[in-house]
Amino acid sequence: MLNEIVITRAIIDRYMEKLKDHLELDAAIVGGGPAGLVAGYKLAKAGLKVAMFERKLSIGGGMWGGGMMMNEIVVQEDAKRILDEMEVPCREYQSGYYTADSVMCSSTLCSQASKAGLTIFNLVSVEDVMVREQRVVGLVINWTAVEMAGLHVDPLTVRAKYVIDATGHAAEVVRVIARKVDAKLFTNSGEVEGERSLWAEVAETNTLANTREVFGGVFTAGMCSNATFGSYRMGPVFGGMLLSGEKAAEQVAQRLADEK
């Protein structure tokens, strides 16, 4: 006989266990697009305590829709090894260009990252940061439903040694810092440089170069890197996103190792 109250208690207990277990993190990832997922996968594989906060119900960000809702993505040669490692099937289209089904890719990256040990909190939005001595030391979170309804409900907090802003075009964590913290970002102007128009080749190279620390304790990943440091968008070619997630994770892991 199924008891509805046991079902309810199981969900509440397990969720609260999970949440309480992730209030103090080595790394917090904001945004569950391809860059955040690869970063989370790599950090979890390295044995670090890492959680992801994603505003939406679904994980995968801008990957599901492929290009203009045609659910295929393109990945170039140098990033194919990440698809291989994460067991996403892909096919060569012509020399140097591979395609993957975007639904398969989104769901598999999510699955592999979760299985590696990344804990994902979907339906949670990051609305602010905590800063101490010119360094971000944590995130301010709230239910997306509260944000959407415009309810006046105070948020809660999560402490993190490092934060990866993988919020895509919006660069939301970086923008909060620029708006609220009386300090310069590590960009040329000290402000958010902003995204430029579409140029796949340059954008993909720059995404990797722009994957770096933008403020004490905060690294950018994915499209957020170009939106922050001022470079082009790339459209539905995803190699740069995957490589950027990997690079952000490597940088964070290195810092944590150096601090031991």
- Residue numbers at the binding site for ligand 48F (CB under 6 A): 30-36, 53-56, 61-63, 125-126, 166-168, 170, 172, 222-224, 233-234, 236, 238, 241
Instruction: Tell me which residue of 123, 121, 110 sits closest to 55, measured CA to CA.
Output: 123
| 60 three-state secondary structure | coil
Rounded least distance, CB 11 to ligand 48F, Å: 22
Rounded least distance, CB 60 to ligand 48F, Å: 7
Instruction: Tell me which residue of 243, 247, 257, 241 sits closest to 213, measured CA to CA.
Output: 247
Residue that is written with structure tokens 């995957």 in the block = 242
Residue 139 half-sphere exposure, CB side, CA atoms within 13 Å?
31
- Whole-angstrom distance, CA of residue 51 vs CA of residue 129: 16
Rounded least distance, CB 58 to ligand 48F, Å: 8
Rounded least distance, CB 167 to ligand 48F, Å: 4
Structural contact between residues 84 and 7, judged by C-beta atoms closer than 8 angstroms = no
